[in-house]
Amino acid sequence: MAPKRLLQGIALSIFLLFFSLSTALAQNKTITGKVTDSKDSAPLVGATIQVKGSRSGTTTGTSGDFTITVPASAKILAVSAVGYENQDVPIDSDNLSVLLVASTSNLDEVVVVGYGTARKKDLTGAVTKVSAKEFNTGVVSNPLQQIQGKVAGLVIVQPGGDPNADLTVRLRGATSLTGQPPLVVIDGIALDDFNQAINTLNPTDVESYDILRDASAAAIYGSRGANGVIIITTKKGKSGRTQVDYAGSIGISNISRKLDMLSADDWRKAIPNEWRDYLALDLANNPNPDSLAQANLTALDKGVNVDWVDEITRPAVFTSHSIAIGGGTGNFNYRASVGYVDQQGVVVNSGKKMTTARFTANQKGLDNRLNVQYNLNASTTKRDFLPDQRNTSQGVTDGGSAVFNLAYNYLPVYPVKNANGSYFQIIDQDLENPLARLKDVYSKRQDNFYQGSVKVDYEFFSGFKLGTFGAMSRYNDVFDYFEPKIPEKNNSPAAVKANANKAIFNGDIHANYRKEFGAHSINVTGVYEYNKFVNDGFVAGARGYIVPELLNNNLGANSDIRSNDIGSYKGEVKLVSFLGRVEYNFDDRFLVTANFRRDGSSKFGANHRWGDFPSISAAWTMSNEGFMKDIPWLNFLKLRASYGLTGNQDNIGSYAYQLLYGTQGLYYDNGNLLQSYGVSQENNPDLKWEVRKSMNFGIDFTLLNNRLSGTLDVFSDKTQDMLFTYDLPQPPFLTNRVTANAATATNKGVELSLNGTIIRNNNFSWNALFNVGTLRNRITNLNGNFKGTELVISRRLYGYADGRGLSNAYISVLQPGYTAGAFWLWEFAGLDATGKQLFNDYDENGKVVGTTRDPKDDDRVFIDPTPKFTWGFTNNFTYKDFDLSFAIRGVQGQKVFSNTILNLATITRLAGNNILKEGLTNGITEQPQPSTYWLKNASYMRMDNATLGYNFKMNSKVVQYLRVFFAANNLFVVTPYKGIDPEIKVDGDRRYIDRNYYPKTRSFTFGINMSL
Amino acid sequence: MIQRFCRLTFLTAVLTGVFSCTNLDPKVYDQIENFWNTPEQVAAGVAPAYSGLRGLPSGAIFNLNEVTSDEVVVPTRGSDWYDNGAWQQLWQHGWDPNHGDISSAWTFIYTGVANINRILQTVGALEPAPSDLAGIQAELKTIRAFYYFQALDLFGNVPVVENYEVDLTTVTNKPRAEVFAFVENELKTNLPNLRDAVDGSTYGKVTQWFSQALLAKLYLNAQVYTGTPKWAECIAACDAIINSGKYSIQPNFFDNFKVNNESSVENIFVIPFDATKGLGGLNTQMQTLHYQSNETFGLAATPWNGFCTVADFYNQFDPVDKRREMFLVGQQYSRTGEPLEDLQVKLPLKFDPDVTAISSAAPSFRMAGARSVKYQPTPNTTGDMNNDFAVFRLGDIILMKAEAELRSGTGDPVATLNYQSSGVSIRSRAGLPDFTSINLDDLLKERAREMAWEMWRRNDLIRFGKYLAARVPEKAVSQSFRTLFPIPKAELDRNSNLTQNDGYPQ
């Protein structure tokens, strides 16, 4: 240990020597000390120590220690650390002990703003940072679950409890009509697929999230920034002693809520009672309802009591381990981590196992003018899918599966297995043994990810840095599928092997200049960036195996290959950008930031190769004005205003503007089947990005001796030239749909965040964070132009209800004047005497003139399902060495169409299908029609996360830190909604439509965090 | 290693940055920017004109021609087949311009037309021109005329667009008679350049005989389309086919429709299907058969229990008429001879042609209606069939000629009906005596028995003035404008120059 310390000391001294030589010529003295938390005496790592009024300084190591050489004349040290109040310490000794007080305002917190950083108090745009100590804990398999409900305006929805399902993430609503997630930037690398990027990341490697909420902040990402930007920073090594961190947890999850289906005994009672009454309504066709009901009861009842949802589910185990080693000397630091997450799904044969490895290092050299950062990381995720989930290149699954439909419909009086051990099978529409289906179908995917990046910066002269950055990322997803022959089904066994690859190159050359003169300071950044995305892959399938044990490992061993069983593809996208930013600060009172980005994309049509994305924002820190200095309760007050343009190009395909020929199916020619070719895509030289024009006004404030801080933002955004598949007139066009720019929509809202220290004393503290956001989306028009032809859409049918007898059952629309995906439904007006549904009949003036059994389109009403507001409330308590936190998240005013309940709550499906108990009592005796009857209030309040932790006081030289915790996820939901869960997809054409979701889970976790 | 990687990355970053800074032309890998270079490519580029036709027999065109007639009904059975009222509207003649099948039929027709217009434009501009350019163009224009015939028959007053790139403002409705004249002229002009051989090389292809058959249909309905009959022209077109000696009556009626029906000597034009090899799209078996009928036919999928035939139609068949075997009626059995039952309501699987209601949730109603197996079900497929679909066949030509003779009072319609080839007439192969006399009512009944489920029933009923009649179950006499379908609402929205057919909301 000693020689190492010595070396570190020497290195540090040399470093400081050079440093001080370049800044001052004076006699120096050396000060040592330790910086700790005022509350729990925990050492503070990475705290900055500077001589007051000078730029030279150092940071504390892992034990909070520092050594600094200062001019003999220095009197005061300025000590700062992220998350703590700044403190000026008089140099009254050679060995200082500094106690920092935790800050609630974090005004000096460093925020990542894209191609650079800024102090929170200097921000002119709307940016929110969430750091590790604020994260949700427990069963966290997707990193973004850590910040669910923590950021106003950032809506994170997890539909169902499928470990392989993607989260729906929307920042200030979506730009395009179908909805797009924000751009995600991980350690400076902007990848093209949000979910794919997120899914490679181990949650325990994340240091912080910075959310760029308004256009002035996101405009630096130009044509990719319109949906907002989430910047993720991973943990880095810190100079000092080698530190080993271990984090481990083990948890168990169960289904949190089940549908109220008929049990076997309920079914046995319902057939001779309720079903019989229903048969008796139609005596002409069922002259003897009693005997028909009895015959059905006898024939179908196999004398068992089975709950099929129980049969296909299980308590699911979650385990997570991660080990990280970090350390370094003054010029070099590193961190290496290995993580493993194994999350079983509560549904049999579903789950994922993820292994991650990450290495980062930072090297300084050449008089500290050179800085080199290396990143290497890799991950492998093995996924077990449910039978009907598909391997998609975009994302993983939508969280639903037809297997749940089977479990709901299969009769509770059917046994799981026959006496001989084979599965009991009834094959029919909606009927198949659900457990057999789960066990028989082999559907797996392995996602491999490798990434390396290097960033080199060199300071040519004081304040001017030039650098370059390069990153290579590779995805390789391997999909395996096998479905055996089920004798009762007479199907042909099928096997598939597929491989999807993506290679992404990101590179840039960047320059930065900072200069202060008097009360003025400027910071100028310029970047040239090049991105290239290449996709390729193949699919091969075959049928007719007679040896099922081969699975899909020998596709040649089959008797039946069809024309669409093999395929391959390849495509590429290039994106070139020039961007710049100027930040100007006058006297810490007036702040102005101007961004400009020029993007060229190979996705855009020839007439629009390049796009410009400017933004400007300004802030006035009123509290630094003389006239406000004397207000005792006001610590900080800043007004912000911004305007900017951002673009969205994610939903344009690689070659969407070009005229392309592709294969068009086979044709018959004299006994042969040959491949035909035709135009697969019309050209659209006018194709370009969507533009979001955003305006934002904000106030940041800190009050009451820094105990209450908050941010209020109001925004008004307009998205133009929205990409959409527009309707083309036929004749003369080849197809009736084309991707073109046209429609316009607005997003408006208010976002408020409050952070307060309610109680703070030696033994007890209570800190609360609250945020609330509103969002109002309106389509203002759906008009466009394609090759000179005006396109007008007055209404596009969008979402639909599905199930038996529900083809063409559209229930939501895209229509000017309404939110995207507004419901368009008949109004339920009760039942007639025989249990047939009645609907309100509207006349041409929009007045209800009675009821009708046969409603028309003009009897439909528009209903906005979107929430009035979404909110989150987090409370953190500490008492001595205990800490307790809980996070509640809510959605108010949301409506959900219960498609699952519509399908199941109907007596007409008896006797051969099981139904909901509600179906015996709702009185409906015909095919239920989509109407407002099935549209339910789905506001909810969810206890997302509650954690109780204990920090051991460590005197050991080996173990520096030890914490144990017990966490619960989704402890309870308060909601009037009767489906399995009110939290469902809020994007795409299935938005706010509840259908066959994977069950939500409730989890309990025990975990340990330890540092050696 | 890491250092080398880093250096390489650094170098790559700088070099790529410098050399490709504004080159944004993407390389296209899996699609084609340049085509039509070889005779094989020309053939493959012309072929989509044919492959599009596979959408004809299972889909909107079938539904509009059959479910609106007395031949096929799709009743709502419990929850199944309600589908927003779409099927009831077809049977009861209550459709509006938003009906999905009406939009789909329009899209099918005009996608086919635009496809051919584009191919014609491209082929016509090739340098050097393909050696058989005139033949290719005649073939393409004749298929296009078939699409326009569908538009003429279903929608009447439709736009006629002959070029690919046209100004939308020129796209307006033409009166039905002008559309008729266009189709007639296209067929007659291009007929001489079509092939007349009937062999493997023209199987599934447009020939002179296809063109004559389509002309015969056109002339047979000329009075409906234009107000002016063209019986003599119809007879002439039929005679051209009959007298060519290229086709004869298939001795076994069902050989025209069996899974391997390539050897039919009667079919004039077929759309080839082979689901297992990639020519999919024919799924009549799924639409009509009961869920448990897969036990009877060894299907690898559970059928959908929808389309069926009502008693009034079924009863037009004499019990000894072999053609009645196209229907499944009564108790159904598995392949091993076990009587089948409905697995969900535990009633015997017994098809009953009596369809008493348009919608019923009664368990027995699941078995209502006779089911068609005219096109023999294809075992072991997951839905689609391998039978080639006959658009025109000699049996129809004979009936058309007889009808034209009867209506015009020329020739000998009875003799025409009794026309023999391969030693059989259409009556004798059905096990029935030849006609000794004929009137229009009997002729329509014979067309019902011979042509059931072959997509001509709406066309026939309109010509015989019976399309609008009341029917069981639950269809009242419909308004006279229902003989034409409306221009789809969506198309009126997209093109303000289009006008709606009479009777429908503009």
Question: In what order do the strands lie in the sheet containing A76-80?
Answer: A57-59, A48-51, A76-80, A87-90
pLDDT tens-digit profile of B27-74? 777 666 677 888 888 888 888 899 889 999 999 999 999 999 999 999
Mean pLDDT in residue range A213-240: 84
Using alpha carbons, select from A929, A772, A915 the residue that is nearest to residue A835: A929
Amino acid letter for position A884 = L
Q: Tell me the angle at which helices B133-154 and B176-190 cross, rounded to the nearest 10 degrees.
A: 160
pLDDT tens-digit profile of A22-80? 444 446 788 888 888 766 667 787 788 888 767 667 888 777 888 888 888 778 888 88
Pairwise CA distance, residues A692 & A219, whole Å = 10
Structure tokens at A933: 């009857």
pLDDT tens-digit profile of A440-484? 888 899 999 999 999 999 888 888 888 999 999 999 999 998 888
We find that the CATH architecture of domain A316-1011 is Beta Barrel (2.40)
Query: Residues with Cβ < 8 Å from B129, sequence gap 6 or more?
Result: none
Our CA-based measurement puts residue A978 at a distance from the nearest CA of chain B, in whole angstroms, of 22
3-state secondary structure (DSSP) of residue A818: coil
* CB contact at 8 A, A327 and A232: no
Residues of chain B with Cβ-Cβ distance to A453 below 8 Å are: 9
Pairwise CA distance, residues A579 & A599, whole Å = 8
Q: Would you tell me how many other CB atoms lie within 10 Å of the CB of residue A323?
A: 17
Pairwise CA distance, residues A263 & A304, whole Å = 11
Q: Which DSSP state fits B381?
A: -
3-state secondary structure (DSSP) of residue B232: helix
* Coarse DSSP helix, strand, coil percentages of chain A, rounded to the nearest 5 percent: 15, 50, 35
Pairwise CA distance, residues A228 & A646, whole Å = 9
Q: What is the pLDDT of residue A390?
A: 60
The Cα angle at residue B264 between residues B258 and B266, in degrees rounded to 5: 120
- Residue A223: pLDDT over 50: yes
Closest CB to A731: pick one of B12, B113, B302. B113
Interface of A with B in 533-592 (CB under 8 A): 536, 560, 562-564, 568-574, 576
Q: What is the pLDDT of residue B131?
A: 86
Strands (E), A44-182: 48-51, 57-59, 65-71, 76-80, 87-90, 95-100, 110-112, 117-119, 127-131, 154-157, 168-171
Interface of A with B in 888-907 (CB under 8 A): 906
Burial class, A695, CB count within 10 angstroms (exposed 0-12 / middle 13-18 / buried 19+): middle
Residues of chain B with Cβ-Cβ distance to A532 below 8 Å are: 16
| Range with the poorest average pLDDT among A313-322, A923-932, A985-994, B405-414 | A985-994
Q: Would you tell me how many other CB atoms lie within 10 Å of the CB of residue A299?
A: 15
In chain A, what are the domain boundaries?
Answer: 25-100, 264-299, 316-1011
More confident residue, B32 or A752: A752
Q: Could you tell me if residue A112 is left (phi over 0), alpha (psi between -120 and 50 degrees) or otherwise beta?
A: beta
Residues of chain B with pLDDT under 70: 1-22, 30-33
Pairwise CA distance, residues B152 & B187, whole Å = 14
CB–CB contact B114 A681 (8 Å): no
3-state secondary structure (DSSP) of residue B306: coil
Q: If pLDDT is split at 50, 70 and 90, which confidence band does A15 have?
A: very low
Interface of A with B in 639-698 (CB under 8 A): 654-655, 658-662, 664-671, 673-681
3-state secondary structure (DSSP) of residue A966: strand
Alpha-carbon Rg for chain A, nearest whole angstrom, is 31
CA distances from A472 to A186, A376, A541, B8, B96 (A): 13, 10, 31, 11, 57
Strand partners, B269: B392
Pairwise CA distance, residues B203 & B16, whole Å = 55
* CB contact at 8 A, A734 and A745: no
Amino acid letter for position A88 = D
Specify the CATH number of the domain A25-100.
2.60.40.1120
Q: Does A808 touch chain B (CB under 8 A)?
A: yes
Q: If pLDDT is split at 50, 70 and 90, which confidence band does A356 have?
A: very high
Burial class, A934, CB count within 10 angstroms (exposed 0-12 / middle 13-18 / buried 19+): buried
Using alpha carbons, select from B107, B477, B503, B430 the residue that is nearest to residue B251: B430
Helices and strands, number each (H, E), in chain B: 19, 8
- Residue A9: pLDDT over 60: no
Residues of chain A with Cβ-Cβ distance to B291 below 8 Å are: 428-429
DSSP secondary structure of B354-374: ----SEE--GGGGGBSBEE-S
Helical (H) or strand (E) element with A558: none
pTM, to two decimals: 0.85
Mean pLDDT in residue range A292-305: 92
Q: Is the ipTM of this complex over 0.85?
A: no
CB–CB contact A562 B361 (8 Å): no
CA distances from A724 to A163, A177, A540, A741, A780 (A): 31, 7, 32, 7, 14
Closest CB to A572: pick one of B6, B27, B80. B27
Helical (H) or strand (E) element with B117: helix B100-124
Our CA-based measurement puts residue A325 at a distance from the nearest CA of chain B, in whole angstroms, of 18
Q: What is the pLDDT of residue B7?
A: 45
| Range with the poorest average pLDDT among A307-321, A627-641, A864-878 | A627-641
CB–CB contact B44 A803 (8 Å): no
Q: What is the pLDDT of residue A351?
A: 92
Q: Which DSSP state fits B274?
A: B
Closest CB to A805: pick one of B32, B80, B298. B80
Pairwise CA distance, residues B386 & B272, whole Å = 8
Strand partners, A520: A517, A586
Q: What is the pLDDT of residue B3?
A: 47
* CB contact at 8 A, B380 and B300: yes
Quote the percentage of chain A above a pLDDT of 70.
Answer: 94
Strand partners, A575: A531, A601
Question: How far is CA A104 from its chain centroid?
Answer: 27
Residues of chain A with Cβ-Cβ distance to B30 below 8 Å are: 568-571
Pairwise CA distance, residues A829 & A843, whole Å = 15
Torsion over CA: B486, B489, B490, B496 (sign): positive
Mean pLDDT in residue range A276-296: 87
Closest CB to A792: pick one of B44, B45, B493. B493
Our CA-based measurement puts residue B178 at a distance from the nearest CA of chain A, in whole angstroms, of 17
3-state secondary structure (DSSP) of residue A803: coil
Mean pLDDT in residue range A768-789: 88
Our CA-based measurement puts residue A508 at a distance from the nearest CA of chain B, in whole angstroms, of 7
Mean pLDDT in residue range A683-695: 87
Q: What is the pLDDT of residue B206?
A: 96
Q: If pLDDT is split at 50, 70 and 90, which confidence band does A17 have?
A: very low
Residues of chain A with Cβ-Cβ distance to B272 below 8 Å are: 668
CB–CB contact B299 A490 (8 Å): yes
Residues of chain A with Cβ-Cβ distance to B491 below 8 Å are: 729-730
Amino acid letter for position A695 = M
Closest CB to B10: pick one of A468, A658, A736. A468
Q: What is the pLDDT of residue A41?
A: 65
Our CA-based measurement puts residue A372 at a distance from the nearest CA of chain B, in whole angstroms, of 10
Residues of chain A with Cβ-Cβ distance to B302 below 8 Å are: 427-429
Closest CB to A912: pick one of B20, B45, B344. B344
Residues of chain B with Cβ-Cβ distance to A659 below 8 Å are: 33
Mean pLDDT in residue range A915-942: 93
Residues of chain B with Cβ-Cβ distance to A792 below 8 Å are: 493-494
Pairwise CA distance, residues A556 & A566, whole Å = 12
pLDDT tens-digit profile of A168-203? 888 887 667 777 888 899 888 888 888 888 888 888
Q: What is the pLDDT of residue A396?
A: 42
Pairwise CA distance, residues B177 & B160, whole Å = 12
Pairing verdict, β A1001-1011 and A961-969: antiparallel
pLDDT tens-digit profile of A399-441? 567 888 899 999 999 999 999 999 999 988 888 999 999 998 8
pLDDT tens-digit profile of A473-529? 999 999 998 888 888 888 888 888 899 999 999 999 998 998 888 889 898 999 999
